[in-house]
Structure 1
Amino acid sequence: MPGDPIQRLLAEPPSLPVRDGLGDIVAGLRAAGTAVVQAPPGTGKTTLVPPAVAALVDGTVVVTQPRRIAVRAAARRLAQLLGEPVGETVGYSVRGERRAGARTRIEFVTTGVLLRRLQGDADLPGVSAVVLDEVHERQLDSDLTLALLVEVRATLRPDLIVVAMSATVEAERTASLLGGAPVVDVPGSLHPVAEVWCPLPSGVRRADDRGLTPQFLDHVAACVRRALAEQPGDVLAFLPGVAEVGGVAARLSGVDADVRPLHGRLAHRDQDLALTPGDRRRVVVSTAVAESSLTVPGVRAVVDAGLSRAPRTDHRRGLAGLVTVGVSRAAAEQRAGRAGREGPGAVYRCWSEAEHAHLPAHPEPEIATADLTSFALEIATWGSPDPSGLALMDQPPAAAMAAARTTLSGLGAVDDNGSVTERGREIARIGADPRLARALLDGAEAVGVRRAAEVVALLSEDVRAPGADLVAALRAVRRGGPDSAAWAAATQRFEATLRGSGAGTGLSDDVAVGLVVALAHPGRIARLRPGGTAYLMTSGTGAVVPAGSGLAGLPWLAVADADRRPGARDATVRSAAPLSEDLALEAASAWWQEADQVEWSDGRVVARRTVSLGAIELSSTTIPDPAPALVATAVREGLRQEGLAALPWSEAATALRERLAFLHRALGEPWPDVSDNALLAGVETWLGPELARVRGTRDLRRVDVLVALRRLLPWPEAGRLDELAPERVQVPSGSHVRIDYAGDQPVLAVRLQEVFGWAAAPRLADGRVPLLLHLLSPARRPAAVTADLASFWTNGYPQVRAELRGRYPKHAWPDDPTTAPPTRGVRRS
């Protein structure tokens, strides 16, 4: 209608490629109520799809973007096309800021804002449609929001229109989650983009232990200068983080262009400046915020450093954060596409064509690599603590979910079943990482509402701490430093979420900051190691502060952020604050433990009672009479170190062990396994009461091993031990000869003359195993070995007789040994 700005826009839309696909999108929504739009960057889907959806419904259309900067830019762009200010037909909401009113029909929001609304009221009153943009980025909030919307449509709002928009593949998977939504593929009309490969010069490393090298940033800056010289228009350079953006921007001083940094921490005015063409050429040095969603007009050349920030978590050490990783091929293509929106362009890639072929095809989804504590609290608050019941693109790793639930349980946010508690709902209401929310709630009582909000804002906004000193960072933002605007807004927001007030105590800023940090991250409380410069965290991770930091040497620290590079012994502290032992015990009371430790050390049992805060030992005293079970464990470890040879193995004990080993091999259960590993694993069973008396190797020498081994005899089968595996066997001469069970087959070594008359050797283990006869000469030297005596008398004996009767003429060498009488010594006259 003439007065409807959305209808006017759709009647004469701008010439964007997505315009030709709007009819198919509308038809799909009318038929199914859902649609998946696949369109490359620059096709105008963020600009024209929301108005097309709004024309179908009476209520509000909510459009999600992954970043705040993209929310504001998209709202401003669409409002300009409608000829209105932001806040009228088109508005936006981000954390801590909302520009929308009663007339707003299209509202751009961050995914986190929509999550909060869903948790507050899953019906989404007043909302008729949700458009999820940039779902290909696979951010954790986006994946979860899509899953929750699928459930809302299935149970509460079948009328809710849902559109998922993606710039790359996986459209079919998304459509399947939405119940078979129609897929509308909008081809792009990008201009050709030439590839220029700019590998590192020989000898230059991209990164070292401290991060990206200055030489690599020099290389990126040189590529920007080359692009300026070789290409028309503006240049867009991609760097992984804020520090690298600043480093390259500084290196471009003096170029004949306006150098504009672009990242999420900038003030709105500076962000707008980077996104607005000026009178001169521009070089926009950006993080990944310009990779998608944002339109940066005038760009004809892209310089790609080939790196991005991605969440990674070391669950064992409790260290989580963003790390620098190589981009995927999909992300590299998306970045390159920025150069071909307005005309032919070029991408300067700071790596070789050979390296490009080995890049991963797509980025890993955040759910596979990120810390899942917030995710676990979100689904518990939703009422689905088990993620397998949600329509997620990928299920989270089991280990990461277990670590998240452990963290939430420690905060009191979930119960033993993983269901959210009232405390958990209060933490979720804050709208921050659960650990920071806990620090805000508990810290307000200890340090006051205002100061707790200031410190939590410092942590949530990831304000850079010079020399890793968070107290110095707090004082800097209070004075109005570069991060002060975002910090002040976050402080105000957190302060407003606190119900009631906390008076706080008379703590100085130094330890007040440390206490709030410790409440957020009790596993990162650190104490200086005795006589050293490194610290030990309660989690067990070692840590060092940066060289020259004012924190060096302080006895206790509360660490907010630390990272540990592969191969490094200790993590490097990125931000921390001083702490006292008393406050450490207060903040990490759940980590306090008193335990008896009995260990084998230097050949003896050492028993101590320790008081510790996690891995940090606070005190230790000797225990005169430790628990027998702990002693047994220590002795077992001692035997592992010293070996079973540390025990006094008598001849009888060794013989019994060998007989038992033979029966275990021949008959199996219930005859016990008496190998080294088995005896060490069951040391408490067979050494029994002897263990409690052991204090060192001298005591081990007093253990009666024969008595101990007899405990392993199975009853009632033990009564047949001498029958199944006799210690000795009587031979025809009347001698009782010992059987050797040391080898794989039992051996009877006996002089040949003593077995005259034997037709066959005895068999052991219920006749299963024949004795192996070692037949000896009169001098007790081996004359023959056989397990088949009858065959030996026929085939082997004649040769043995011929060889030995001349050497031993006084001994019997009958022609027929099977009928001759056996003798023990020389033949009698």
Structure 2
Amino acid sequence: MTSATPAPRRAALDSLPVREAVPALVSALDGHGTAVLCAPPGTGKTTLVPLVLAGLVGGGPRRRVVVAEPRRIAARAAARRMAWLLGEAVGGLVGFTVRGERVVGRDTAVEVVTTGVLLQRLQRDQELAGVDVVVLDECHERHLDADTVAAFLLDVRETLRPELRLVAASATTDAAGWARLLGDAPVVEAAGVAYPVETVWAPPARPVRPPHGMRVDPAQLAHVAAVVRRALAERSGDVLCFLPGVGEIARVAGQLAGVDAEVLQVHGRAPAAVQDAALTASEHRRVILSTAVAESSLTVPGVRVVVDSGLAREPRVDHARGLGALATVRASRAAGRQRAGRAGREAPGVVYRCWAEAEDVRLPAFPAPEIRIADLAPFALQAACWGDPDAAGLALLDPPPAGAMAAAREVLVAVGAVSPAGRPTPRGLRMARLGLHPRLARALLDGAEVLGARRAAQLVALLSEEPPREYGDDLAAAWRRARRGDDPYAGRWRAEATRLERAAGSAGAAAGAAAAADSGAAAPADDAAAGLVAALAFPERVAKARGAGAFLMASGTGAEVSEGSPLGHAPWLAVAVADRAPHSASARVRLAAVLDEDTARAAAAHLLAAGEEVRWEDGDVVARAVERLGAVELVARPLRDPAPELVRAALLEGLRAEGPGLLRWSPDALALRARLGFLHRTLGGAWPDVSDDAALLERAGDWLEPELSRARRRADLGRIDAGQALNRLLPWATGEAARLDELAPERIEVPSGSRIRVDYAAEQPVLAVKLQELFGLAETPRVAGVPVLVHLLSPAGRPAAVTADLASFWQGGYRAVRAELRGRYPKHPWPEDPASAEPTRHTNARLRGR
């Protein structure tokens, strides 16, 4: 304890339960250099441990400690709390750095930073010179930046600075996994003193629709608001309510109008003053509506009640369509424990869970690691700049999915950040230091050359934090509103725009001015500027109008603007934000800018392609010379002499789409196909499967050549004799083809001398013959060892009986047929003994005449 620390604050330090685990932690770091600290919420792991490791409390050697937090609100609050415990202001022995704000001094020994800031610092200085200890706090949240920072720090320890100490700290985490990752590091556990928290299950009375995309059923939000009102009535103390996002917080806040409490809205975009107010004790009762930012282990004073909506937001990316967004999901059980723990930090509390107890066991155990589900372009750029483009040598709890890394590499190559081999370009190194997604970094750098640094920075700031829905879906209009606005979003936007303008540098402004001077043109208008920047950031989403507010993006995905949107009549759009509901073919445009074709071509130049397109379309071969921007057709003209191989492929496409009926099938051809099908079913072996259209067309190249190569259009297919072509599939190589007529004869000679065609189309071959022509035939004819199914016909050719056993028919069934038909056909013979009668095709009169 330092002598300057006031007595009350010394008592606060002494009361923190993690003190009991500090000696073991220090010993682990002295002996191993790394450690995993598992400490329940409220034990002081975020505040006391860094002070001890820095030698500011407890009398150890003075060290420089960096504490990495996943969120800005937690970083600022942790620094303030540690400074208060030391009796100082922030910026002395304890400071913090978050994006756009740095409060440190020359004597700062403990600096709290966000993981994103630490990542940038490591890229600038891989040795992390001057830093002795790094504490990765809340590592259980598995944010991508935090996982990347851990991997880089382990690489630094192994190759450059083995003396650098590293602590992974959390309340609920995979301790064994982190210990393995940190080189079999010791696990130090601290006992907690959390007060008991009662659980109240409060599911909706009626079913609500599950979340999809960003949408949450309004009935669910109304239920959460009702549970908050219930909690206010049933319990004392402040209420902390967890909701998935800013929009849901605003809607629930509106439904809590008139409650006897102050309602605070806390989220990552909230002004610092509001965030600070939530972390400061108040004399008035409060309802704090918060996103996951309040899950961190810092105490929210006065909270005795937690209302948990059970929802969270996770990143999702559709690589095939070039769409990335946040998705609303059910929160994990680990997140539920973290949230509930907020109610038991200072006294016994209660958590109201807005779902049924039976559902709880079906929730995921932990949140999904971002590396498995997020857009990996930023990670891939960081890895490339670190010197490991494939991230194969990085120590990660979960390896990046190969498909997501391949998609990320494509993006980085397209924006000029890496070479095709994955090595960072000088431009990529600069992009990595901007603290932006590589897409937005490209838009800032290239946009500044045309618009100047200020205008490009302002537009990129709009894209880096999506403006509120009330700003509308027109990016240029949202830009104008932000410039004149005095709402919290506009304030954050101005600060970020200023930071980005400085990052872009004066060279961008000079280049923009020079470009305008050289062309003799004024700077682009707002609409054109917004379209340029959005297209530079998201070239796969430049979209051409298809009519009625519908567009086709270069990625191949359809897009639709809302009814009445001012964007609906634009010939082209640069889509900045879009989401696609499950089972929907088109995406819904949330933010876009009007675009012209020349800008679309320039921004998405890597998607430009020209060539011959020959395809089966509207029932025939269509050949065109086409220029495309991705999936968007720009120019097309008829192609008079297309490449033969393309035509052949188009004809095969048509055959597969419409079936072999496009060929000329004579009765003999159909019969041959049926005979071959029968032999395949019966004998298998070398006899081909031709009964199934798909199987037949799969081998079209084997039996339709050379006729197929000579064909040019649908009509040519209709002239191909399918039977003649089908003969090529017979097993000529084995010699079996010569036995076709023996095994599956086209016709069978019956006792009357007639040669009757066998129908092989059914499962069993069918011989349809007049009954009188079979007199004297005792045994059923067979083909390939299979008895035919005899359809015995009346003299008029109508079915009289069906049998596969002629001997039994003559002995029994014939009498009934004879009795029924001899009166109807008296001119035909109906002998009592058909076995000894003469078979005939003629009537009795003809027989007598003979």
Same-fold status (TM-score > 0.5): yes
Q: Which residue of structure 2 aligns with residue 390 of structure 1?
A: 394
Partner of 2:529: 512
Report the Cα distance in structure 2 between the residues aligned to 1:5 and 1:664, rounded to whole angstroms: 93
User: 1:115: Cα distance to partner?
Assistant: 1.6
Deviation at 1:134, TM superposition (A): 0.4
Counterparts in 2 of 1:695-734, with a 5 A limit? 698-713=715-730, 716-717=733-734, 720=738
Question: One-letter code of the match for 2:452?
Answer: G
Distance 1:9 1:182, change over 3 A: farther
In structure 2, relative to structure 1, the CA distance for the partners of 1:694 and 1:646 (3 Å cut) is same
Q: In 2, distance between residues paired with 1:529 and 1:763?
A: 60
Offset of residue 408 of structure 1: 2.3
Any idea what the Cα deviations from partners look like across 1:209-232, whole Å, max 9, x if unmatched?
Answer: 983455544443443344334333
Gaps of 5+ in 1: 816-821
Aligned to 1:291: 295
Partner amino acid for 1:539? S
Q: 2:438 is matched with which residue?
A: 434
> Any idea what the Cα deviations from partners look like across 1:755-787, whole Å, max 9, x if unmatched?
9999999997xxxx6887979999999999999
- 1:502-556 residue CA offsets vs partner (Å, 9 max, x unmatched): 21542111110111111100121223223x1222222222223334433332222
Paired amino acid for 1:483? Y
Paired with 2:159 and 2:6, the residues of 1 have a C-alpha distance of 31
Q: Aligned partner of 1:346: which letter?
A: V
In the other structure, the counterpart of 1:491 is 497
* Offset of residue 371 of structure 1: 1.6
Q: Tell which deviates more after alignment, 266-275 or 339-348.
A: 266-275
d(CA) in 2 for partners of 1:664, 1:191: 76
For 1:571, what is the secondary structure of its paired residue?
strand
Seen in structure 2, the aligned counterparts of structure 1 residues 753 and 175 have a Cα distance that, compared at 3 Å, is: same
Q: In the alignment, what sits opposite 1:36?
A: 36
Are 1:628 and 1:691, in contact at CA under 8 Å, matched by a contact in 2? Answer: no
The answer to whether the 8 Å contact 1:57/1:128 transfers is no
**Hey, what's the Cα distance between the residues in 2 that align with 1:35 and 1:223?**
41
* Partner residue in 2 for 1:468: 473
Post-superposition Cα deviations, 1:437-488, rounded to whole Å, max 9, x if no partner, equal 1111221222222211111112113333511122222223323532233223
Q: 1-side partners of 2:11 and 2:30: how far apart? A: 19
Residue in 1 that maps onto 2:125: 121
**8 Å CA contact retained: 2:764, 2:789:** no
> How far apart, CA to CA, are the structure 2 residues paired with 1:737 and 1:253?
91
Per the TM alignment, residue 241 of structure 1 is displaced from its structure 2 partner at its CA by 1.6
- For residue 472 of structure 2, give the secondary structure of its aligned residue in structure 1: helix
1:211 and 1:738 map into 2 onto residues whose CA distance is: 66
Cα pair 1:10 1:52 within 8 Å, conserved: no
TM-score (norm 1): 0.86
What amino acid maps onto 2:140 in structure 1?
Answer: H
Are the structure 2 counterparts of residues 51 and 784 from structure 1 closer, same or farther at C-alpha, using a change threshold of 3 Å? closer
Deviation at 1:81, TM superposition (A): 0.9
User: Distance between the aligned counterparts of 2:207 and 2:814, measured in 1?
Assistant: 83
What is the CA-CA distance between 1:309 and the residue it aligns to? Answer: 1.9
Question: Is 1:319–2:323 an aligned residue pair?
Answer: yes
Between the aligned partners of 1:800 and 1:547, the Cα distance in structure 2 is 74
Partner SS, residue 388 of structure 2: coil
Alignment partner of 1:261 is 2:265? yes
Q: For structure 1, which segment, 230-239 or 438-447, has the greater mean C-alpha deviation from structure 2 after superposition?
A: 230-239
Residue 214 of structure 2 contacts residue 326 of structure 2 at CA under 8 Å; is this kept in 1? no
More displaced stretch, 25-34 vs 512-521: 25-34
1:370-381 matches, within 5 Å, as 370-381=374-385
Give the whole-Å Cα distance in 2 for the aligned partners of 1:127 and 1:729: 95
Report the Cα distance in structure 2 between the residues aligned to 1:190 and 1:584, rounded to whole angstroms. Answer: 58
User: 1:473, 1:548 → 2: CA distance?
Assistant: 16
In 2, Cα distance between equivalents of 1:474 and 1:541: 26
Mapped to 2, the partners of 1:259 and 1:732 lie a distance apart of 97
Letter in 2 for 1:517: A
Instruction: Specify the SS of the correspondent of 1:337.
Output: helix
- 2:573 is matched by which residue type in structure 1? L
Which has the larger displacement, 773-782 or 104-113?
773-782
Q: Which residue of 2 aligns with 1:525?
A: 542
2:312 aligned residue: 308
**Residue identity opposite 1:538 in structure 2:** A
Whole-angstrom distance in 2 between the partners of 1:257 and 1:36? 40
Deviation at 1:739, TM superposition (A): 7.5
2:574 to 532, 549, 558: 558
Q: 1:173 — aligned with what? A: 177
Which whole-Å CA distance do the structure 2 matches of 1:377 and 1:629 have between them? 41
Cα deviation 1:117-165 (Å, max 9, x = unaligned): 2233332222221111001111111222223333333333222211111
2:684 is equivalent to residue 678 of structure 1? no
Matched, 1:60 2:64: yes
| Map of 1:612 onto structure 2 | 628
After superposition, the Cα gap between the structure-2 partners of 1:6 and 1:598, relative to the gap in structure 1 and judged at 3 Å, is farther
Query: Aligned pair 1:158/2:162, yes or no?
Result: yes
Cα distance change, pair 743–121 in 1 and its aligned pair in 2 (3 A):
same
1:438 alignment partner, SS class: helix
Are the aligned partners of 1:732 and 1:755 in contact in 2 as well (CA < 8 Å)? Answer: no
1:371/1:400 contact within 8 Å kept: yes
Matched with 2:520 is none
What is the CA distance between 1:36 and its match in structure 2?
Answer: 1.0
- Offset at residue 66 of structure 1 (A): 0.2
Shift of 1:383: 2.9
Alignment-mate amino acid for residue 494 of structure 1: L
Structure 1 counterpart of 2:19: 19
Q: Percent identity?
A: 52
8 Å CA contact 2:780, 2:788 repeated in 1: no
Q: Which moved more, 1:146-155 or 1:40-49?
A: 146-155
Letter in 2 for 1:637: E
Count of paired positions: 814
Distance 2:138 2:661 in 1: 67
Q: Quickly say closer, same or farther: Cα 1:713–1:260, change in 2 above 3 A.
A: same
Q: 2:65, 2:134 within 8 Å by CA — same for their partners in 1?
A: yes
1:94 offset after TM fit, Å?
1.6
1:819 corresponds to: none
Give secondary structure in 2 for the equivalent of 1:519.
helix
Post-superposition Cα deviations, 1:395-427, rounded to whole Å, max 9, x if no partner, equal 333333332223223223334444444443333
User: C-alpha displacement at 1:203, in angstroms?
Assistant: 7.6
Residue 647 of structure 1: CA displacement?
A: 2.1
Judged with a 3 Å threshold, the aligned counterparts in structure 2 of structure 1 residues 663 and 448 are, in CA distance, closer, same or farther, namely same
Distance in 2 (alpha carbons) for counterparts of 1:575 and 1:10 = 53
Instruction: Pick the aligned partner of 1:112 from 110, 116, 133.
Output: 116
Amino acid at match of 1:234: D
Cα shift at 1:354: 4.0
Query: In the alignment, is the contact (CA less than 8 A) between 1:732 and 1:758 conserved in 2?
Result: no
**Residues 727, 410 of structure 1: CA spacing in aligned structure 2 closer, same or farther, 3 A cutoff?**
farther
In the alignment, the residues of structure 1 paired with residue 452 and residue 265 of structure 2 have an alpha-carbon distance, to the nearest angstrom, of 37
2-side partners of 1:258 and 1:63: how far apart?
Answer: 33
How has the CA–CA distance of structure 1 residues 473 and 754 changed in structure 2, closer, same or farther, with 3 Å as cutoff? closer
| Among candidates 531, 556, 559, match of residue 540 of structure 1 | 556
| Range 549-558 or range 219-228, more displaced | 219-228
| Between 317-326 and 347-356, the greater mean CA deviation after superposition | 347-356
Alpha carbons of structure 1 residues 10 and 29: separation in structure 2 relative to 1, 3 Å:
farther
Indicate the SS of the match to 1:46: coil
Q: What is the aligned partner in structure 1 of residue 619 from structure 2? A: 603
2:77 match: 73
